[in-house]
Structure 1
Amino acid sequence: MAQTKESESRKLLGRLRDTLAEDGAGQERLDRITSLIADSMRTEVCSIYLFRDHETLELCATEGLNREAVHQTRMRVGEGLVGAVAKKKQTINTADAPSSKGFRYMPETGEEIYSSFLGLPIQRLGDTLGVLVVQSKEARLFSGDEVYALEVVAMVLAEMTELGAFVGEESALGALHQNPILVRGTIGQEGVAEGHVYLHEPRVVVTNPVADDPEVELERLRDAVKALRISVDDMLSDVDTKEKDQREVLEAYRMFAHSRSWMKRMEADIDRGLSAEAAVEKEQSLARARMANVPDAYLRERLHDLDDLSNKLLRLLTGQGSNTGAEMPDDPVLVARNIGPGELLEYGKSLRGIVLEQGSVGSHAAIVARALAIPLVIHASKITTEALNGDAILVDGEQGVVHLRPEDSVASAFRDKIAMQTEASKAYTDLVGKDAVTPCGKTITLNMNAGLMADLPSLSSSGAEGVGLFRTELQFLIRNSVPKRGELATLYGRVMDAAQGKRVVFRTLDIGSDKVLPYMKPQDEPNPAMGWRAIRVGLDKRGVMRMQLQALIRGCAGRPLTIMFPFVAQFEEYRAARMMVDAELANEKRLGHVLPSSIEVGAMLETPSLAFAPDQFFKETDFISIGGNDLKQFFFAADRENERVRRRYDTLNVSFLSFIRQIVDRCEAHGTPVSFCGEDAGRPLEAVCFAAMGLKSLSMRPASIGPIKHILRQVNLDAIAELISSAAARGEQSVRKDVATYLADQGIKT
């Protein structure tokens, strides 16, 4: 019986293919398709709804409903059963549609006499293009085989919709991919860039969704999977044995490439009538739909691996090549839905900019982009749908804005902005060997943040006096298993070699929240930013903490060592971590290993609670680094991933600056060195105000050191401190405008 159903499915697809091959305008094709689907499914009604815009569905063709309703009936996403299918991207199968929750009566269609309803999203790779519906008077649920058959048809319709098969010359549907587009996103990494689009996952055009001969398609699939496995093996063999990070990423691809369940599902799809390409894409679309609904970061990363592998397989089947024929331009701006850290590292510093539809300010990709100093905009909605390979693109990482195919006037103004920054950067070169000494006689130490070996050359070229923060978690995030102690010791040694005697502050593993290790059991936490993360993980998983401390001690090879613990919320956490350091030093001495010539152990102050720790904490810690990104979000109770609230609160809020002053005062009272580390330290107005609050050390991205040094050498910090005090006395909310006005009056450009 099952075989009969499968044959009917193939028969329907064959009829659909023949219909699509016939000449005719888009409307004629849609009308013929609804007629044949209704006939094949033995239903009185078949209707196709397509998106007119991002929020509106339009009835574009029907068999069984009132024909006069075509192009007249519209509904918002979420409205009625059809709108619910579009919103949830899920099938609705009901025997009693009029009584179903959300049912909307549309008198112009005459559909109230039909009881059964089966609606499916017409979607391709996560993008919903419309809704396919069949209805009948008989009150019944559609069978699993019937649902499957319609799913396959909906997928073919999605392919044809994207290829423009249903777009007539007078239709308002469909994107032209020609007009200038402004996309507003979120700042992931500051900086500006001009270039041309290079799609990380270029669309593979599947022109033959229906199989002529299932046996031929099965053979094509098996040959392509075999070639895919060989290519993954070849990539693994080509990777240098020292490049453990890349090897771990490719090992994950190998695991998925050999997945038997994945292969069986695609073979079953071909049996139902799909071509090899369509079978791969059907499973990829289902995986993307799951990915969109998975809250767990670990599972999303794993589904992303499968998604990437599906793209490679599609390119093998279609013969469109790894880049669908597009050469990487000389000035590439990478555009993608999302990207893993390993993949981004493979591109390296060749990229001018990065634009992602997904991601977060603390995602793996954002961390790597910051380490490589590449401008990044995230949450750029629909950018992969709108952009084509080779399109001109402008990335403004300082405003979180992307200009796709910009008009000449916009491009000209943008180039002027880049030219001004380039000209200014030349002036900063002369400051490399000079100190950041203010006119009022205060010296501010400027350090750089880092996380990869690729960052270290910036230590000398930027004029940084040391590394104020080395993010050790990157080496854990880009692997699929815990790195070995010896590998880490070698890396830490190479970092210190590259620093050439300058101080490097190694922050211990800062994971959890939005930084989830691929091999760590995911934690279902309602608020991960305030959950099991950073030092809390280290103190609970002592084996990992001990291994990293041992690697740091051995990597320094007798040189001075500086260790900093992240996200310390109370004195006891720091004390417990410090005791672990002392225990490992004693153990290393007992084993006869070389100990550091000196050691400093500090804490990141990222929670307001630590600012009120007992005096003993400030006496015992060797130094404190204010972690501005986290401290600000907890101070204002505003999640920095939440666009609705994070922009409401200003770093130069008088209350926040007063809090910084209190921390500095407590540290000074006990002789504890204190610095500010974070993105805000690299912004001119913020840096000036932090220094005016008494901070004598700032740590930032390398590119910011020149501009910050330039402005500090011109500013009287005593005057800024007085200005802040006056604003507080007047009850001002923020000093941003006052400080900007003062600097402008002094002729100081920011």
Structure 2
Amino acid sequence: MEGLGTSVGIGIGKVLIYKEPKMDIVKENILDLELEMSRLENALKKAIKEIEHIYNTTLTTVGEKEAEIFTAHKMILEDPEYIGSIKEKIRTENINSEWAIKEVTNFYIEIFNNIEDEYIKERVQDIKDVSNRILKILLNIEAKDLTSITEKTIIVAHDLTPSDTAQINKEMVVGIVTEIGGRTSHTSIMARTMNIPAISGVENIINMVEDNDVMIVDGSTGDILVNPIDEDIIIYESKQKEFIELRKRLEEMKGKESISKDGYKVEIAGNIGTLEDIDKVIENDGEGVGLYRTEFLYMYRDRLPTEEEQFEAYKVVAEKLGQKPLVIRTLDVGGDKEIPYLNIPKEMNPFLGYRAIRYCLENAEIFRTQLRAILRASAYGNIKIMFPMISDIKEVREGKKIIKGVMEELRKENILFNENIEIGIMVEIPAVAVHSRVFAKEVDFFSIGTNDLIQYSLAVDRGNQHISHLYNQFHPAVLSLIKMTIDNGHKEGIWVGMCGEVAGDEKLIPLLLAMGLDEFSMNSSSILKARHLIRNISKEEMESILDEILSLPTAEDVEKFIDENIMINILPI
């Protein structure tokens, strides 16, 4: 049995099946509107008190970053649009609070579920968690207690809410297995913080095991063993000890340079989407932020963020990083990132449509507001500006022209900013990679966005399960485009980074080093392992076999060659 490993490590314990109490929500007509509104208000007040208690508990037992999840939950409970919509529904339709909560929550869930971005989809869990809390209070349903577990336990559930996860006894819960969820869910993030192995996406697991079954979970591979034989237990106990040792050795990478065996120095940075993420980058000794996804500042709200709100967000990250680089990607909206209040029209092919820099250039005031905030924040750190979804030189020139105009405004207002701020572009469209020598003359840096570069190069929608097997980062054509981009950037004297998933792929890091990639930006959890790999590779040796790899005919051939000729020679951690 296997699923998706979302928090590494090995857990051995007894199964505890956790099921959410069943809530039968029925639509009822109410006669006393005032009484119903009072009933809802009392439930909201109680829910806020519960959230505040969980926040304080999480702050003490887990950490500040994880506690901020419940700050967000409290904001939902106090959000005038969400709560206002519930109250409006009660008033206009004369229906009970439970039904109104269900209807409004489902409306928001549908909006978020239509967005392809995994991180955004996972935020649906916050809305569900909050709405379920209110409903349980209204229905007088007691939640199952997960705080009093007294033996080594693996929790098996359809899903765990952040509230559930925050309250588990982390000394006794040695594993979490869920039927749904992914790496970016709050539950997975919290499990990683608490060093609890976790696996998600195990269909129907609740009906395949029973309470008190013995279970082994391997969060690194996603493997699950139920009622294992003694021999398997001995094997996994040994792996468990090895993993603990591995974690210690990765910690030893902190404070060391990201430099190859033959002296080639690179920068290993982290990707972030929210203010919460920066703490993880710092904790894992990231050498900067190679991608700040600013679209998250525009989501979960009913209006555009103000200049001041954006300025504060960028400033906080810049100050936390000090003089380490912070690459801020300008608003990348459209495609799979739908923000209702922007009223972007529905399109047949949104990934090829009105999005990112194309939207920003057409909506100059929104763009200018963001650029003002970024430039103001640049006085507090080493900020760089990056345009996404560039396909034409004219877009780069127009973007730079707008920046120049904003700079003039700030000078007139005597507002400080970095006069020499670097401006770069994402290389995620094959045409830009092919024409990169020309683009390199216009900008200060490139950052290769491999997620889209692969998708566009191979004409594969990676979200389409029928063809997702064709989406392959080892494809020789993709690797050739990456090398071409790096070579052309260097010929024109600019640095080249990468912020797509490939940057953290341990099998491709040696090839990227051979190609001369200057900056690797990845999920914060991959930083220390990437540094270990870099420190155990000779760039010159990798260069000597690079042409042979790029001449291989298939992605399968490339991966096999790497396994048999490179990975086998890299010292284990």
Match of 1:655 among 472, 477, 480: 477
**How far, CA to CA, are the matches of 1:596 and 1:191 in structure 2?**
41
2:247 is paired with a residue whose SS is: helix
Q: Which residue of 2 aligns with 1:228?
A: 43
In the TM superposition, what is the alpha-carbon distance from 1:668 to its structure 2 partner? 1.6
Which has the higher mean CA deviation after the structures are superposed, 469-478 or 670-679? 469-478
Q: Which residue of 2 aligns with 1:561?
A: 383
Q: Does 1:640 align with 2:462?
A: yes
Q: Does 1:312 align with 2:122?
A: no
In the TM superposition, what is the alpha-carbon distance from 1:529 to its structure 2 partner? 3.0
Q: Does 1:608 align with 2:430?
A: yes
In the TM superposition, what is the alpha-carbon distance from 1:380 to its structure 2 partner? 4.8
- 1:484-511: CA deviations, max 9, x gaps? 2212212211211111221111112223
Match of 1:249 among 73, 76, 81: 76
**Structure 1: segments with no counterpart, 5+ residues:** 1-181, 268-278
**How far, CA to CA, are the matches of 1:527 and 1:664 in structure 2?**
30
| The structure with more radius of gyration | 1
**How far, CA to CA, are the matches of 2:344 and 2:214 in structure 1?**
40
- Note if contact 1:436-1:444 (Cα within 8 Å) is conserved in structure 2: yes
- Note if contact 2:315-2:380 (Cα within 8 Å) is conserved in structure 1: no
**How far, CA to CA, are the matches of 2:227 and 2:366 in structure 1?**
49
- 1:153-192: CA deviations, max 9, x gaps? xxxxxxxxxxxxxxxxxxxxxxxxxxxxx4545x7x6745
In the TM superposition, what is the alpha-carbon distance from 1:631 to its structure 2 partner? 1.2
In the TM superposition, what is the alpha-carbon distance from 1:627 to its structure 2 partner? 0.8
Once the two structures are superposed, the pairs formed by residues 189-588 of structure 1 within 5 Å of their partners are: 191-192=8-9, 194=11, 202-204=20-22, 224-231=39-46, 248-250=75-77, 251=79, 252-261=81-90, 264=93, 266=95, 280=98, 284=102, 296-297=114-115, 311-321=132-142, 323-327=143-147, 380-382=202-204, 399=221, 401=222, 403=224, 407=228, 416-417=238-239, 419-517=241-339, 519-521=341-343, 523-557=345-379, 559-588=381-410
**How far, CA to CA, are the matches of 1:694 and 1:575 in structure 2?**
27
- Note if contact 1:369-1:376 (Cα within 8 Å) is conserved in structure 2: no
Letter in 1 for 2:293: R
Task: From the superposition, tell whether residues 245 and 221 of structure 1 become closer, same or farther in structure 2 (CA, over 3 Å).
Answer: closer
TM-score normalized by structure 1? 0.60
2:566 is paired with a residue whose SS is: helix
Which has the higher mean CA deviation after the structures are superposed, 646-655 or 293-302? 293-302
Q: Which residue of 2 aligns with 1:128?
A: none
- Note if contact 2:179-2:201 (Cα within 8 Å) is conserved in structure 1: yes
In the TM superposition, what is the alpha-carbon distance from 1:726 to its structure 2 partner? 2.5
Once the two structures are superposed, the pairs formed by residues 67-146 of structure 1 within 5 Å of their partners are: none
**How far, CA to CA, are the matches of 1:622 and 1:534 in structure 2?**
20
In the TM superposition, what is the alpha-carbon distance from 1:603 to its structure 2 partner? 0.6
Task: From the superposition, tell whether residues 406 and 598 of structure 1 become closer, same or farther in structure 2 (CA, over 3 Å).
Answer: farther
In the TM superposition, what is the alpha-carbon distance from 1:657 to its structure 2 partner? 1.7
- Note if contact 2:357-2:395 (Cα within 8 Å) is conserved in structure 1: yes
Task: From the superposition, tell whether residues 200 and 714 of structure 1 become closer, same or farther in structure 2 (CA, over 3 Å).
Answer: same
- Note if contact 1:459-1:702 (Cα within 8 Å) is conserved in structure 2: yes
Q: Which residue of 2 aligns with 1:678?
A: 500
2:336 is paired with a residue whose SS is: coil
Q: Which residue of 2 aligns with 1:103?
A: none
1:685 is paired with a residue whose SS is: coil
Match of 1:740 among 555, 563, 570: 563
Q: Does 1:592 align with 2:414?
A: yes
1:644 is paired with a residue whose SS is: coil
- Note if contact 2:437-2:489 (Cα within 8 Å) is conserved in structure 1: no
Task: From the superposition, tell whether residues 417 and 512 of structure 1 become closer, same or farther in structure 2 (CA, over 3 Å).
Answer: farther
**How far, CA to CA, are the matches of 1:475 and 1:196 in structure 2?**
42
1:674 is paired with a residue whose SS is: strand
Output the aligned Cα RMSD. 5.0
Task: From the superposition, tell whether residues 739 and 183 of structure 1 become closer, same or farther in structure 2 (CA, over 3 Å).
Answer: closer
Q: Which residue of 1 aligns with 2:62?
A: none
TM-score normalized by structure 2? 0.77
The number of aligned residues is 546
Task: From the superposition, tell whether residues 391 and 489 of structure 1 become closer, same or farther in structure 2 (CA, over 3 Å).
Answer: farther
Task: From the superposition, tell whether residues 542 and 312 of structure 1 become closer, same or farther in structure 2 (CA, over 3 Å).
Answer: same
In the TM superposition, what is the alpha-carbon distance from 1:290 to its structure 2 partner? 11
**How far, CA to CA, are the matches of 1:424 and 1:566 in structure 2?**
37
**How far, CA to CA, are the matches of 1:553 and 1:290 in structure 2?**
34
- Note if contact 1:447-1:698 (Cα within 8 Å) is conserved in structure 2: yes
**How far, CA to CA, are the matches of 1:736 and 1:496 in structure 2?**
38
Once the two structures are superposed, the pairs formed by residues 611-630 of structure 1 within 5 Å of their partners are: 611-613=433-435, 615-630=437-452
Letter in 2 for 1:719: E
Greater RCO (CA < 8 Å, at least 6 residues apart): 2
In the TM superposition, what is the alpha-carbon distance from 1:673 to its structure 2 partner? 0.9
2:266 is paired with a residue whose SS is: strand
Task: From the superposition, tell whether residues 373 and 511 of structure 1 become closer, same or farther in structure 2 (CA, over 3 Å).
Answer: farther
In the TM superposition, what is the alpha-carbon distance from 1:623 to its structure 2 partner? 0.2
In the TM superposition, what is the alpha-carbon distance from 1:582 to its structure 2 partner? 1.2
Letter in 2 for 1:463: D
- Note if contact 1:345-1:368 (Cα within 8 Å) is conserved in structure 2: no
Which has the higher mean CA deviation after the structures are superposed, 623-632 or 214-223? 214-223
Q: Does 1:699 align with 2:499?
A: no
Task: From the superposition, tell whether residues 308 and 385 of structure 1 become closer, same or farther in structure 2 (CA, over 3 Å).
Answer: farther
2:409 is paired with a residue whose SS is: helix
1:726 is paired with a residue whose SS is: helix
- Note if contact 2:476-2:552 (Cα within 8 Å) is conserved in structure 1: no
- 1:372-427: CA deviations, max 9, x gaps? 8998866554568879999988776655x474967477777666555434322322
Letter in 2 for 1:225: L
In the TM superposition, what is the alpha-carbon distance from 1:258 to its structure 2 partner? 1.0
- Note if contact 1:229-1:254 (Cα within 8 Å) is conserved in structure 2: no
Task: From the superposition, tell whether residues 301 and 320 of structure 1 become closer, same or farther in structure 2 (CA, over 3 Å).
Answer: same
In the TM superposition, what is the alpha-carbon distance from 1:311 to its structure 2 partner? 2.7
Task: From the superposition, tell whether residues 324 and 226 of structure 1 become closer, same or farther in structure 2 (CA, over 3 Å).
Answer: farther
**How far, CA to CA, are the matches of 1:302 and 1:458 in structure 2?**
19
In the TM superposition, what is the alpha-carbon distance from 1:712 to its structure 2 partner? 1.9
- Note if contact 1:559-1:597 (Cα within 8 Å) is conserved in structure 2: no
Task: From the superposition, tell whether residues 729 and 253 of structure 1 become closer, same or farther in structure 2 (CA, over 3 Å).
Answer: closer
- 1:90-130: CA deviations, max 9, x gaps? xxxxxxxxxxxxxxxxxxxxxxxxxxxxxxxxxxxxxxxxx
- Note if contact 2:156-2:206 (Cα within 8 Å) is conserved in structure 1: no
